[in-house]
Amino acid sequence: MNENAQDIRQSPVTVFRTLGLTKTYEMGDVKVHALRRVDSELYSGELVVLLGASGSGKSTYMNILGGLDRPTTGEVYYEEHDLTNATESELTEYRREHVGFVFQFYNLIPSLTALENVSIVTEISEDPLDPKDALGLVNLTQRMDHFPSELSGGEQQRVAIARAIAKNPTVLLCDEPTGALDSETGSLVLSAIEQINRELNTTTAVITHNIAISRMADRIIHLADGVITDVEVNTNKVHVKDIKW
Amino acid sequence: MRAINRKLYRDLQDTWGQALAIILVIAAGTSTFVMSISTYDTLVQTRDAYYRDYRFEDIFASLNRAPESLREVIESIEGINKVETRVVASAKLTVADFPEPVLGEVVSIPDFGEPTVNRLYLLQGRYPDPVRDDEVILNQVFANAHNLVPGDSFEMIIKGRLETMRVVGIALSPEYIYQVAPGAIMPDFKRFGVIWMSRDAVGKAFDMDNAFNNVVMTLQPGVNPKDIIERLDLLLEPYGGRDAQEREWQVSHRIFKSDIDQLEQMAGMFSSIFLGVAAFLLNIVVSRLINTQREIIAALKAFGYSNIDIGLHYLGYVGVIITIGLLLGIAGGIWLGIALSNLYMEFYRLPYMEFEFRLSIITIAVMITFLAASVGTLFAVNRAVKLPPAQAMKPEPPAKFRKTLIEKLKVFSLLPQMARMVIRHLSRKPVKASLSIAGIALACSILVVGSFFRDALEFLIDIEFGLAQREDMTIVFTEPSSRNAYYNILNLEGVDYGEVYRSVPVRLVNGHRTYLTGINGYQEQRDLHRPLDTNHEPIDIPTQGILLTDYLGELLDVEVGDIVNVEVLEGRRPVDQLRVAGLVNQYFGIGAYMDINSLNRMMREDDVISGVYLKIDPAYEQQIYHQLKDMPRVANFETNRHIVQAFNDTSAEMVYIFVGFIFGLAVIITFGVVYNTARIALSERGRDMASLRVLGFTRGEISYILLGELVVLTLIAIPVGMIIGRLLSWYMIQEIPKEIFRVPLIIENSTYAISATVVIIASILSGLVVRNRLDHLDLIGVLKTRE
């Protein structure tokens, strides 16, 4: 059993709290209910996996936590900050200071090298890691002067992780980080995330639709049709390297 | 360097083709602006300096003869600065190797020292020796036209005898920037020349010893010329003085000023149109370029970059492009401005050039360009950042599409699949398609505006000299003469037909509006010289009343049926009131027309004529010239051929020079716009095209789709551009001065065709570049990421 997980159970500090979180999109004439009255809590230092099928609302949920989107109704709190009513610039400030994102399609800037892609974030952060150290954490020091087009998918995703953690965020939000990768590369990427969570104690949420991956989590939140169907505490947490899928 | 700045730098590198195209559009727009306005400024500045340095007259007056002693009286008039009394006379000349008649205007200069008013700029040689009667200085245009240099000689009829005159100098004068024969509207460098001789020699030759028949003067600053003229007229009247005039009425100045005013208008219009078009295009291009970066913008936002950071970043990107464009445009504009000014200096034979370049021009150009670019950038950035980043990072959601009307047509389903794809895409993205069309259409329109002047001026010549003034030759008598003079000329061998006319200098007055012009009286039966109506049909000249050139009607603010006051400036100087019986549609020159008998009645004269319009047999042309030259009654004669020639060589040429430069810049803008349209289409649809390739479409097929769109856009844009071009041309001619000639809105099909061709060539070249890119699409990349 992981020491972190034990700490959490002993004295869980709430990082995120949502109350009646609802999000509806208008797609043409159709209303899509992405989230319906979701109440949830995420705790400091834990690694949560959000599990659900495509369209279950997990990305929407994470985007709202990350300040990338706003709920239609309901409330969302980061620590004591009310994100629901935050202004545009407060959300920007929040993302800049606290949130690290890893996207399914990496979203690296093609015209910047690996190192520069990390620097673009550290340059606007208050207390960042050295970009080289961040790349070191994901074992990419050797490739730091390469452009995204010269990197494999896994390497690109690891650059994205380095970029996300380089600002020294309090939360790391990963949306299908292995979605575009083969299992071997995916494993490498997840190991990096696991390592960050463990070593930097960064509250981490990972979206996936791959059940196998959820075995690395402290807790697993199941979503379906915009509703949390189950929250499962993983008592049998395993290292990524031991997960096969 | 900060990573975000590095991104900016690399983005610039990556999009250099498009950036270059934008740079060209801005540079060409700015160049037009800077070139036009600085050329205009330079001409004005140089003219003013020339006038000032060479003491160009403020007031001039002609009289029959006054004793030299009157000079002191004139000088004593308060407000006058310098006075020069002169003898000005006409003389017939014979120049070697030139069989046609040449009229000389002999102007006296002081025996010793330079003239105090209308100084000469001596280019070559020296002033005449006052003790010699045969030494002259020639005006440069005339000397050049006959290749005369100091040391050469020509012959001049003085008191009926042919005397040999020796050229000792070649000069320029602010008085003769345009050297125009009396009564003529256009200069004719070969057949009319200004000859300066020392006062003593002129006095002897024209019986004007110790007398003068012309006086010019400069005024002290701040003096109202009207007051001086009033006193001068009183003073000169006993000596046959004909109304003293302000500089404004001096012929050379008047034409030159009209040219400059014309240039000013063209400069203003072209500058604003070109800069406006460039700004509009910049706005479109920039916003679409930024649109292609929406995902990166979303990512930057997700990392915590604020909207302002992102806005500044893209402003930086655009800023670099427009700064380069502006710098190039300003440098190019100055360079072109100097080149164009030099052409004008040569054209007008100004002795020196004072290149004038106002910093405010740059400020305006910079402000307009930056404003256009910033609005485009910020608008696009704003649109990009307004979306929540989560949404923006996804590829744009499949846009709301609906079957458009065109697709519901039966014909549509009969089209080949590829054609249907082209039409479908364009019709379902109407805003983007419209913007592309607008861009190309504007480019096409400035090509039309940049070249329609030639059509208009050629049309003007066709109408004026093909329909209205169909005589081959106009003969001017030395004084009003009886009809015998007409019969004498009619009897010359080779003269087919002739019509008489009477010409009287007048001042037309309506309230506070006055205009100095001539009334021409025509015979009832007219086949040669025929004023036209608005349908270009010969107009009837009533036995009562007066016809005015339509523009003169505007100047005097009179319409048909109104009364104008006529003050004759010749003979008994009668004053009369005439009803405006009609307006004459006339593109060239300004005048008033009456029945010859009514005119003579008004003049209280017999059946006299001022000259004859002739139709001649070309085979006898030279012979007729020789015979006319020997007729003492014939003061001058002009051929229409030479007038047309002169017009083409002068006022028209000045317009052609300018629009030539403009057209070149319009071509550059066109290429920039079309290339950008094609490249933006490629960047917006590159993914779709690659996906189609993956699905099995060939390179040819995807090229068909993308380039087919470009073809359709271009084909729609061209006629739209022609219409806009026509509107802009119309707008432009409204603003152009109408004093010397009035530009009709005539755009020949060939002009449209040339404009369309330029657009099409630009499209083909851009298409080839895009095609090359399409052939190298990264198919694997498409499969690997996204969607």
What span, in angstroms and rounded, lies between the C-alpha atoms of A204 and A133?
20
| Surface-to-core class of residue B621, CB atoms within 10 Å of its CB (0-12 exposed, 13-18 middle, 19+ buried) | middle
- Residue A11's pLDDT is 64
Count Cβ atoms below 10 Å from residue B556 Cβ, excluding itself: 22
- Among A153-167, B16-30, B73-87, the range scoring the smallest mean pLDDT is B16-30
- The structure tokens listed for B708 are 């087919």
What pTM value is reported for the model?
Answer: 0.76
Contact B305 A97 (CB under 8 A): no
Cβ contact A67:A58 at 8 Å: no
How many A/B residue pairs have CB atoms within 8 Å? Answer: 92
Is pLDDT of B440 > 60? yes
- The structure tokens listed for B621 are 């042309």
Share of chain B above pLDDT 90, in %: 35
Cβ contact B573:B625 at 8 Å: no
> What mean pLDDT do residues B669-694 have?
82
Is pLDDT of A171 > 90? yes
* Residues in Cβ contact with B66 at an 8 Å cutoff, skipping those fewer than 6 apart: B85, B211, B212, B213, B236, B239, B241
| Surface-to-core class of residue B774, CB atoms within 10 Å of its CB (0-12 exposed, 13-18 middle, 19+ buried) | buried
Nearest to A112 among B6, B302, B309 (CB): B6
Q: What is the mean pLDDT of chain A?
A: 87
Is pLDDT of A3 > 50? no
Best residue of B303, B306, B382, B385 to probe chain A, by most A CBs closer than 10 Å: B303
Contact A59 B390 (CB under 8 A): yes
Contact B7 A125 (CB under 8 A): no
Nearest to A111 among B14, B301, B305 (CB): B14
Give me the DSSP letters along B617-631.
Answer: -GGGHHHHHHHHHT-
What span, in angstroms and rounded, lies between the C-alpha atoms of B126 and B117?
18
- The structure tokens listed for B440 are 């190309």
Q: How confident is the model at residue B24 (pLDDT cuts 50, 70, 90)?
A: confident
| Surface-to-core class of residue B483, CB atoms within 10 Å of its CB (0-12 exposed, 13-18 middle, 19+ buried) | middle
Q: Which residues of B touch A (CB under 8 A)?
A: 2-4, 6-7, 10-11, 13-14, 295-296, 298-307, 309, 388-391, 393, 397, 400, 784-786
Residue-wise pLDDT tens digits, A113-133 = 999 999 888 888 888 889 999
User: What DSSP state is assigned to residue B134?
Assistant: S
- Which chain A residues are Cβ-neighbours of B305 within 8 angstroms? 92, 96, 124
Closest CA to B673 of B329, B318, B278, B327: B278
Answer with the residue of higher pLDDT: B295 or B663.
B663
Residue of A nearest to B785 (CA): A105
What span, in angstroms and rounded, lies between the C-alpha atoms of B471 and B485?
18
- Residue B787's pLDDT is 38
Q: Are strands B546-549 and B575-584 parallel, antiparallel or unpaired?
A: parallel
What span, in angstroms and rounded, lies between the C-alpha atoms of A64 and B271?
51
Contact A123 B784 (CB under 8 A): no
> What mean pLDDT do residues A10-16 have?
81
Q: Which residues, listed in sequence order, are joined to residue A27 by a DSSP beta bridge?
A: A30
Answer with the residue of higher pLDDT: B787 or B540.
B540
- Residue A8's pLDDT is 47
Cβ contact B423:B411 at 8 Å: no
- Which chain A residues are Cβ-neighbours of B296 within 8 angstroms? 107, 109
Contact A63 B390 (CB under 8 A): yes
What span, in angstroms and rounded, lies between the C-alpha atoms of A41 and A203?
12
User: What DSSP state is assigned to residue B247?
Assistant: G
- Which chain B residues are Cβ-neighbours of A66 within 8 angstroms? 302, 390
What span, in angstroms and rounded, lies between the C-alpha atoms of A157 and A190?
10
Contact B3 A120 (CB under 8 A): yes
Q: How confident is the model at residue A93 (pLDDT cuts 50, 70, 90)?
A: confident
Contact A99 B304 (CB under 8 A): yes
Is pLDDT of B782 > 70? no
* Residues in Cβ contact with B2 at an 8 Å cutoff, skipping those fewer than 6 apart: A119, A123
Q: Are strands B473-481 and B192-198 parallel, antiparallel or unpaired?
A: unpaired
Residue whose structure tokens are 């008047």: B254
Residue of B nearest to A100 (CA): B303
Residue B615: φ, ψ to 5°: -110, 125
Greatest mean pLDDT among B385-399, B419-433, B759-773: B759-773
- Among B255-264, B418-427, B472-481, B482-491, the range scoring the smallest mean pLDDT is B418-427
Nearest to A68 among B4, B390, B786 (CB): B390
Q: What is the mean pLDDT of chain B?
A: 86
Contact A96 B3 (CB under 8 A): no
- Which chain A residues are Cβ-neighbours of B2 within 8 angstroms? 119, 123
- Which chain A residues are Cβ-neighbours of B402 within 8 angstroms? none
- Residue A30's pLDDT is 78
CA dihedral B494, B500, B502, B503 (to 10 degrees): -40
Residue B521: φ, ψ to 5°: -100, 130
Nearest to B10 among A28, A107, A112 (CB): A112
Give me the domains of chain A, ranges plus CATH numbers. 3-238 (3.40.50.300)
Q: Are strands B192-198 and A171-175 parallel, antiparallel or unpaired?
A: unpaired
Q: Are strands A47-52 and A203-208 parallel, antiparallel or unpaired?
A: parallel
Is pLDDT of A6 > 60? no
- Residue B697's pLDDT is 79
- The H helix count followed by the E strand count for chain B is 25, 20
Q: Are strands B563-568 and B495-510 parallel, antiparallel or unpaired?
A: antiparallel
User: What DSSP state is assigned to residue B573?
Assistant: -
Judged by DSSP in three states, B406 sits in helix
Residue-wise pLDDT tens digits, B335-378 = 989 988 888 888 888 888 888 888 887 888 888 888 877 877 78
Residue-wise pLDDT tens digits, B612-621 = 999 999 899 8
Q: How confident is the model at residue B401 (pLDDT cuts 50, 70, 90)?
A: low
Residue B477: φ, ψ to 5°: -85, 160
Closest CA to B40 of B273, B269, B282: B269
Contact A89 B10 (CB under 8 A): no
Nearest to A123 among B3, B397, B786 (CB): B3
Residue of A nearest to B394 (CA): A105
- Among A80-94, B141-155, B262-276, the range scoring the smallest mean pLDDT is B262-276
Residue-wise pLDDT tens digits, B703-734 = 888 888 889 999 999 999 999 999 989 988 88
Is pLDDT of B403 > 70? no
What span, in angstroms and rounded, lies between the C-alpha atoms of B215 and B245?
11
Greatest mean pLDDT among A177-186, B65-74, B285-294: B65-74
Contact A96 B303 (CB under 8 A): yes
- Residue B165's pLDDT is 95
> What mean pLDDT do residues B764-775 have?
88
What span, in angstroms and rounded, lies between the C-alpha atoms of B664 and B554?
36
- Which chain B residues are Cβ-neighbours of A119 within 8 angstroms? 2-3
The amino acid at B236: L
Residue B317 to chain A, least CA–CA distance (Å): 13
Q: What's the Cα-to-Cα distance from B370 to each of B308, B365, B374, B522, rounded to whole Å?
A: 17, 8, 6, 60
Is pLDDT of B99 > 50? yes
- Residue B443's pLDDT is 87
What span, in angstroms and rounded, lies between the C-alpha atoms of B404 and B413?
13
User: What DSSP state is assigned to residue A213?
Assistant: G
Residue of B nearest to A182 (CA): B784
Closest CA to B770 of B666, B694, B685: B685
Residue A216 to chain B, least CA–CA distance (Å): 26
- Each domain of chain B, given as residue ranges in start order, spans 256-324+361-456+651-784, 495-616
Closest CA to B517 of B509, B502, B507: B507
> What mean pLDDT do residues B638-654 have?
82
How would you write B304-332 as a 3-class SS string? Answer: CCCHHHHHHHHHHHHHHHHHHHHHHHHHH
Nearest to A124 among B305, B785, B786 (CB): B305
Contact A109 B296 (CB under 8 A): yes
C-alpha angle with apex B237: B235 to B240, nearest 5 degrees? 130
Greatest mean pLDDT among A234-243, B33-42, B714-723: B714-723
- Which chain A residues are Cβ-neighbours of B314 within 8 angstroms? none
Contact B7 A109 (CB under 8 A): yes
Nearest to B302 among A28, A68, A111 (CB): A68
Is pLDDT of B261 > 80? yes
Contact A105 B786 (CB under 8 A): yes
- Which chain A residues are Cβ-neighbours of B299 within 8 angstroms? 103, 107, 109
Residue of A nearest to B11 (CA): A111
- Region class of B596: left (phi > 0), else alpha (psi between -120 and 50), else beta: alpha
Residue of A nearest to B778 (CA): A149
Cβ contact B685:B773 at 8 Å: no
Count Cβ atoms below 10 Å from residue B251 Cβ, excluding itself: 18
Sign of CA dihedral B747, B748, B752, B755: negative
What span, in angstroms and rounded, lies between the C-alpha atoms of A5 and A197?
11
Contact A92 B306 (CB under 8 A): yes
What span, in angstroms and rounded, lies between the C-alpha atoms of B236 and B241?
5
Cβ contact A153:A185 at 8 Å: yes
Residue B305 to chain A, least CA–CA distance (Å): 7
In chain A, where does DSSP find H-type helix?
3-10, 58-65, 88-98, 114-122, 131-137, 153-166, 183-200
Best residue of A98, A107, A173, A175 to probe chain B, by most B CBs closer than 10 Å: A107
Residue A180 to chain B, least CA–CA distance (Å): 7
Residue of B nearest to A126 (CA): B304
Nearest to A124 among B7, B298, B304 (CB): B304
What span, in angstroms and rounded, lies between the C-alpha atoms of B136 and B125?
10
Is pLDDT of B154 > 80? yes
Residue B413 to chain A, least CA–CA distance (Å): 27
Residue of A nearest to B4 (CA): A120
What span, in angstroms and rounded, lies between the C-alpha atoms of B108 and A42?
106
Contact B300 A120 (CB under 8 A): yes
Cβ contact B30:B330 at 8 Å: yes
Contact B305 A96 (CB under 8 A): yes
- Which chain A residues are Cβ-neighbours of B6 within 8 angstroms? 111-112, 116
- Residue B780's pLDDT is 62
Residue B350 to chain A, least CA–CA distance (Å): 56
Q: How confident is the model at residue B633 (pLDDT cuts 50, 70, 90)?
A: confident
- Region class of B571: left (phi > 0), else alpha (psi between -120 and 50), else beta: left
- Residue A1's pLDDT is 42
Q: Are strands B161-172 and B135-139 parallel, antiparallel or unpaired?
A: parallel
Q: Are strands B153-158 and B161-172 parallel, antiparallel or unpaired?
A: antiparallel
Is pLDDT of B742 > 70? yes
Residue of B nearest to A119 (CA): B3
